[in-house]
Every structure is written in C-alpha cells, then in structure tokens.
Chains A and B, each alone.
Chain A
C-alpha cells in the first residue's frame, strides 16, 4: 500500500505534461529575449553582438517562480480555499489604500509602497477574485442554491475591485478581472438566456461608453487600431512598425537574431508588451503558430483539470484561472497584430519584466493543486 500523503508521492502525481508545456514556453521566452538583446549584424559594428542579460534575468525569474508554483501546488487545496475570502478582503483594502496613498507612475495610480515593498494590488486581484468566487459558489451549491440572485451577488463581488482598478486608471487589468469574474459566473451555470440578454445590453451600451466613458487617450487608441496611418508618428507608429516587423517575417521568418526591425529601435516596448513582433519576425508564421498551439494546449489542459475536479471550488477556481490565461494571450497578441486597441498587457512567460510572471505562475500552481486534489470533494467543515 502506497501512502498517498507523502511529498514524494504527490510529486509523482503532478501534472507533468502541463509543467512541461509551461517550461517549454518559458524557455522559448528566454530564447526570444536573448535574441531581443543580441543581433547577428549589429548596426554599430556590423558584427555579431551578444547581450544575454535580459534572457538570464528572465531565466532566473522563471526558475524562482517555478519553485513558488510547486509550493502552491503541493500545499493542500483546502488551505487555498480557506485563504480565498481573506485574500479577497486584503486585496480590496489594498486597492482602497492605493486610491488614498498610492504612487503615481506614468500618470496612473497602481502601486502601493509599504516599507521596502512595492505592491500592485490589482495584480493580486487577478488571483483573489476567481478564488473568492469559487469559494462563494462552492458554499452556495452545498446549500443547494442556484437561483439567479446568487449570480447577482457574485457579480457585485467582481464589480467592486473592477471599479477600483478602472479608476486608477488601468483599463487592461480591470478588463481582465472583469473577464475572469464573468467567466467564473458563466461556469457556475448562470442561465444562457441571461447571458444573451446581458451581451445584447453590452453591445448597445458600447457606443455610449466609447463616447462618454473613456479617456481621450483610450479613444485615440481604439481609433488608431482601425487606422494606424492616421497618426504615423504617435500612437499608430508603434502599431505600424510592429506590423511591418510581423508581416516581413513571412512564413518561415528571418531567422534567429536576424530581425532587422528590432535593431533600428523602431518599436517601443519591444522587449515587454510587443515581444510578439520579434517572435513573428524571426520565427515567421510557423513559429508564431507553434507558440499559439502551445498556449492552446495549456488552456485545454487547464480545462480538463477543471472538469476532473470533484469539488466545485476546484473546478471554478481552475476555470477562472484558465480564463485569465486566455485573456492574457488573446489580448496581447490581438493588440500587437492590430485586432484590439493597445492596452498594456504583456505576453506571460515570454515578455521581459516581473509582475505578469508572478501572477501566472501562482495561477499555474493553483491549477496543479486542483489537479492533485481532484478526488477531494471538500466538505465545508473546517474551512475558514
């Protein structure tokens, strides 16, 4: 008889296929960042130029977060269920503090400095909102409730943090939290008729929001998306140059470190939000599709994990995170290739920089925890 509660046993039961997909994506990201810093024919000297500093930083950041992910995965799921409400409450308090005493960076109030720590509470909410909703529905279902009003309460739980984040203003993150929350409500079984009516209302409201609810710069971005050439030196410049890079990559790409556009510094933010332009330029349509396929694989695996969970908490928390993941990838690539307005959302595991990778790896950790605890139907007893 094998003891099923040892660490070693748990490790063997990890979702290795998902883990390998994550590692493959992050290693691909490291490779792309290596290329972003380097060049086969440097503009200055015409010679090979190697700069691995971004790639190395990315690699270590990923390694560290992999450890964090495994810790999250191996701790009991009950613990995370217990922490769902407190983390949501802490997140709300921090958002309130940002509102009162946050730092303004680039005209937007997102950061909170507590002693040596700089926090971005909106990032915490990307995890806390689906957790809290999953916990809430778990409780409601256990009590045998499935009326419409429980979904209304859930929506209010989503709307409060979304309102705060929107006010910072951080349109990208607030849309992601809203999308994740609505995703969980959808998976929790809200009637499709209600969904249809709501979508109709949103469609009707969209023009009103466009003309009265958005900041000027947000409206500009949407306009630029339709017609990048209208403003070739301002907001449209980035987009136009990005599309030249992507388009000139062709089917097979120009080759590793051979991207010409990156060298000329045509594209601002190319190492962060616009990293996809390097992928598409150097690895071509084929390379871009392979990466998209890897993401699709991760998303499908995430949904399989969600479906296999016996507890509604596990199923809904897992689905919520998968929605987040899909929003990250879909919005980032959609924005870079000109299907969506430019909002500052990075490509997780690949873009250079800190916060997205933290959120995503903790999310993957939760997904794996759900997988390890899929047979546990989690009675309410003993939950915080």
Chain B
C-alpha cells in the first residue's frame, strides 16, 4: 500500500468536489437566468409568438388517361377556416358560444352562407375540442377570398388560406373508375391509421405507433385534406396522397398565422401520378352515344389487354362530392331508377343471355360433344326433362348447325349443345374465357359473375341443392344461374377474338401496382375450335344474322389502313329480368317487351370485336332494359368500334408523367 497516495486522496477529492460545486453553481446560475430573470420574456415567447408545427397536406398525384389528359387533378383552392378557441377565447361557455356565433354570422354575411350551413358550423364550432381549424367554406372565388382576407383582423379565429382541391375536369365521365375524394370521416381516419400502422409494422399501443396514429389523424383532420372514397382515388390512396410534410406556422396571441416558415427538412413528397389505360375521348364518345340509355360499355385492346374504355352511364359529377354533397341531391341520385351511383361495368352482374352462346359453342366443339355440321331441328320449342323450353322465335328456325345456330341465336340448338356438353365442361370453358372472376383493376368494388356447376350450387348458402339437368338447359342460353359483369363479358370477347395470346386486362398502366394473380389463363384450344366459333360470330353480323345491319364498320372504305373496309363479328343477347309469366296481361295475352314498364324490359347485350381478319378491339355493350341486343346494342358496338379503329388509341404508347412524379413499381414516390 502506497502511503503517499493514501494521504493524497482526500485533497484530490476536495479539488474534484470543488470543481463539481463550480459546475453546480454554473448550472444554477444559468437556470436562474432563464427561469427567474428572463421568465417573462420566455413566457411571452411561449404564449404569444408560437411556432406551431402543422401537417401540410402533400400534393395529391394526378390521374391521367393514356394520352396524358387529366382525369383527376389539383386546382388552387381558396378556403376559410375558423378556430373556435380564438373566436371565443374568454368567459364562460355561454359567452364563448356567443362570440363564436357572432364571428360565424359576420363571416357568413361576407361569404353569403345559407342559414343551414351557418347552423351546422355553429354546432361544429361549439363542440370541443376548440383547438382545431374548422372548414368554413372552400372553393371560393378570388374576390371572396380577398374580402375575407381584408376583414380577417376583425374576425377573430378566421383565416383565409390557399391550398389545393381535387378537381375532375371531365366531370361525370370517370365517376365510377377514378372515383372521388371527400372529407375524411371517423371511419376513414380509422382505416388510414390501421393501414399506416400495418405498413410501418408498428403496434397501435406502442409509443411509436401512437405517434404515427396521431400524425395520420391530424393530417386527415386538416381542413384542406381529402381522402379517396371510391375508385382509384380510394384504392391508390396511399400512393396518391404522397408523404405529408410539415409547415412551421408563426402565430400571434390570437392564433392568427403571421408567417409560414417552410424548410427543406420538413417538406413532404408529392403523391404518385397514376396513368390509366383508357382513352378519355373514346369514353366521352361512348357516353354521348348511349344518350339517355342506362348501361355500360367496356372496350379492351386485344393486342395489349389494356382497357380502352370502361364506362357506366348515367353517372354523377364527382366534383359534387369533394366539398360535400347536400342530402337532397344525394337522395335524388340514390333513388334514380337508372342507378347513377352504381358501377354497372364492374359491380353489375347480369345474365349474359345469348352472348354466352359463344362459350357454349366453344365448349361443345372443344369437348367434341357437337360436330360443327351436326344439325338440330328447331320448331320454336324443345322438350327436356318433362317440360318445354321455348326458342325466342316462336315459329322456329328449322334445321340449324353451329354456324346458323349462332347466326340466328337459335335457343333450341344451344339447348341441345349444352345438354350434350354438360355443365361441368361448360363451366371449365367459361372460366377459360375469363368469366367468374373479379378482376383486380385498381378500382374499389368489383364483382365476379357466376359460372355455375354442381359444386357451386351445393355450396351456395341459399340454394344448397344438387345441379338438376334442367339447369344446364337454361345455362346453355346464358339464363338461369349464369351471370357476368360487362367487364367480364369484355374479357370473354377479347379472348374469343385473340385466343390464348391475349394479355390479362389492365386498367392502370403507370403509378400503381395492381397485382391479380389468380386469373384463369385461356390456354390452347384444339385446332379449329376458335376459328369455327369466330366464323359463327361473323355470321351473326353477316346477311341473315341477327345483327346483319351492323356488320359493316366501314361501308365507304374511309378508315385508314390496315382497318380499311373493316367488319365486326359479334353476338347479341337479350336477357330477361323477370319471370316469363309476367310478360302477360290480365287476360293472359303476351305483352310486347316494348310496351312493358321500363324497369321490366329485357336487358340488351352485345359483344363484338373488329376487325374480323386481325382482331384489335373487343367491346361489351350492356343497355339496361334496352329490349334487344341486336337492335339496340349492336349499332352502339359498331359505332364504338368504328371510333376506336379511326383513332386507334391502343396503338399509341401510354403517357408517362414527367420525371419528378415518376413512381417505382411498388407505388412509392421516388426521392425528388
């Protein structure tokens, strides 16, 4: 043991503790300076000029059509907000509410708000919490905005702001596919919070998860923020919305924003731009061509699988929803018998009627159940399993083979074909034609039609019965349990036209990844099967066929090469919407379909492709209660195909947005 050291230690300890004392005195002095001497200064700073971090809604990605036309874009938005804690800062609850009511009254006069709107605002503003901005009005004109801005110093709690608002320049044309945005409600916020937590792989009750949830909540409560409610706007919300940034707001004691302090490290990222495969011109033409009819048209490019047109008419203007639609107009939309809110192309399941006969024809040939030259005699009705099944032509078609059966849409021929092929084989072929599948297109909603068979019927929650042979007879003409959406019918037609080489359908060609992994492939058919089926479809639009009047697309050889003189091939369908017995009047006489109330008339369907020699476009037309597929549907199909061949939208490469907004495949924005 070192004696010297032992004696040294106490003095060293005193030096150290002395140094510690100096540190303590230093800290105390500085704290006293901050907390005692300069308290008033810092308290003023804390209370009066507050720098508040506010979420800044990012720029929402634009949705384009294939030519680069904007279907959903952002326009400048002048809006006015109210902060209740600033409008009614002091006094008891009654005093505060009175002050808030006064501010609302005065700003209401400036902006000519309705009394109902003012009442809703007052109710909103007097419910806690008071520390938040309530949207008073948006989409204001510059004059209104300037007026509020000038008056703002006298209107406590009112701020005039500039932001962005979603706008749909083509109005109703893309209501169902693009969808719309609106103010987020509690359910939307909850959904987005859960979504973000899943993405970040965080637990909701961890400190990090809570912070993230709070940030999402604040963002969607921002007066200028909207959330995708349906369509691509909803499906692509995560990518479209971008990464929110933050803005530092310098506020004075009344909460009025004195200055905005943007900074690089707090900037958000703009949302991803999305490009749809559709051609807006074609879509507009289709809507115009339908006129007052209700229905749907879907066109697919046989060469690329890209959807050229996907419309459902009538449709409301999505711009109505962005700032909130009043209950009156909304009720009218909901109760309209032509169902404007309903996405007929994607959500509507209809009996395909006789258009299904091309599937039955292919199934009969593929399985060898029918020889193409085998004939069936049609006397207007046929006897199967103890009952008569009528042909649509009461006087009968006489002797029919595959080609004339398709051309005349003879039900008797297809009763026989279906009976001989059997439902299981028909179902397999129908799947191979793309039926019975909900295609993931990047749009919310969407249904799958029914491709029925024994297993399906046994497992159906309300039927739970075995398949009866009679069911096959009805299925043979696309009635009974068989259903399809117009979109599925378009895929069926594209596959009929192009065979196994047709790519899977796509509606979104840029910005969003839309995986759909369980599409049944078409697969190869026996040689000659598809050719014979197509030959039948050509006969439909040739002399003597049901749609002979619509066969020629280019009677005057005006289309550019290679489409000069093009013809279309197709298949008509008319599907009953009510039981047959209803088509009789009180004395038991049959009523002509045209004389029935609109709601009870047959749906008119037509599927077609063109040109016949080298198919490029396939289209499915549905006219709700249009009575006759060949008379109503076929001319529309012909005109749409003529329009498509003239402009050839599929031949042009889809638009690529400018580099700033180019997105990687997983939908995330690239660093800018």
Residues of A bordering B, CB below 8 Å:
37, 42-47, 51, 53-54, 141-142, 144, 146, 183, 186-189, 233-234, 241, 243-251, 260-261, 264-266, 271, 280, 284-285, 288-289, 292, 296, 299-300, 303, 306-307, 312, 315, 319, 323, 326, 330, 333-334, 337-339, 377
Known: A45-B129, A243-B34, A306-B13. A37 touches B42 (CB 8 A): no
Output the nearest chain B residue to A241 by Cβ-Cβ distance: B51
In Å, the complex CA distance between A188 and B248 comes to 53
Output the nearest chain A residue to B215 by Cβ-Cβ distance: A265
Known: A250-B35, A337-B27, A339-B26. A265 touches B53 (CB 8 A): yes
In Å, the complex CA distance between A141 and B217 comes to 65
Q: Which of B2-10, B101-109, B498-506, B614-622 contacts A (4 or more CB under 8 A)?
A: B2-10
Q: Which of A47, A261, A337 contacts B46 (CB 8 A)?
A: A261
Contact (Cβ within 8 A) B2 A245: no
Size of interface on B: residues with Cβ below 8 Å to A: 53
Q: Which of B204-212, B605-613, B632-640 contacts A (4 or more CB under 8 A)?
A: B204-212
- Say whether B20 faces chain A, with CB atoms less than 8 Å apart: yes
- Say whether B24 faces chain A, with CB atoms less than 8 Å apart: yes
- Say whether B670 faces chain A, with CB atoms less than 8 Å apart: no
Contact (Cβ within 8 A) B38 A247: yes
> Nearest chain A CB to B47's CB is how many angstroms away?
8
> Nearest chain B CB to A61's CB is how many angstroms away?
13
Q: Which 6 A-B pairs have the closest CB atoms?
A: A247-B42, A141-B2, A46-B129, A248-B46, A285-B35, A250-B39
CB-defined contacts of A299 to chain B, threshold 8 Å? 17, 20
CB-defined contacts of B2 to chain A, threshold 8 Å? 141-142, 144, 146, 312
- Say whether B128 faces chain A, with CB atoms less than 8 Å apart: yes
A contact face: mostly helix, strand, loop, or mixed? helix
In Å, the complex CA distance between A244 and B8 comes to 45
8 A-B pairs (CB sep. < 8 Å): A187-B12, A189-B9, A189-B12, A244-B46, A248-B39, A288-B31, A292-B28, A330-B27
Chain B residues 35 to 56 lying within 8 A of chain A, measured CB to CB, are 35-36, 38-39, 41-43, 45-47, 50-53
Residues of B bordering A, CB below 8 Å:
1-2, 4-6, 8-10, 12-13, 15-17, 20, 23-24, 26-28, 30-32, 34-36, 38-39, 41-43, 45-47, 50-53, 128-132, 205-207, 210, 214, 217-218, 248, 261, 263, 265
Contact (Cβ within 8 A) A186 B27: no
Q: Which of B1, B31, B214 contacts A377 (CB 8 A)?
A: B1
CB-defined contacts of B42 to chain A, threshold 8 Å? 243-244, 246-248
Output the nearest chain B residue to A293 by Cβ-Cβ distance: B24
CB-defined contacts of A280 to chain B, threshold 8 Å? 31, 34-35
In Å, the complex CA distance between A51 and B9 comes to 48
> Nearest chain A CB to B221's CB is how many angstroms away?
8
Output the nearest chain B residue to A352 by Cβ-Cβ distance: B207
Contact (Cβ within 8 A) A146 B52: no
Q: Which of A142, A285, A300 contacts B32 (CB 8 A)?
A: A285
Contact (Cβ within 8 A) A46 B130: yes
Given A247-B35, A251-B39, 17 more A-B residue pairs with CB atoms under 8 Å apart are A43-B131, A44-B218, A47-B128, A186-B16, A187-B13, A189-B12, A234-B263, A246-B34, A247-B45, A250-B36, A264-B53, A265-B53, A299-B17, A299-B20, A312-B5, A312-B6, A334-B26
Output the nearest chain B residue to A246 by Cβ-Cβ distance: B34
CB-defined contacts of A261 to chain B, threshold 8 Å? 46
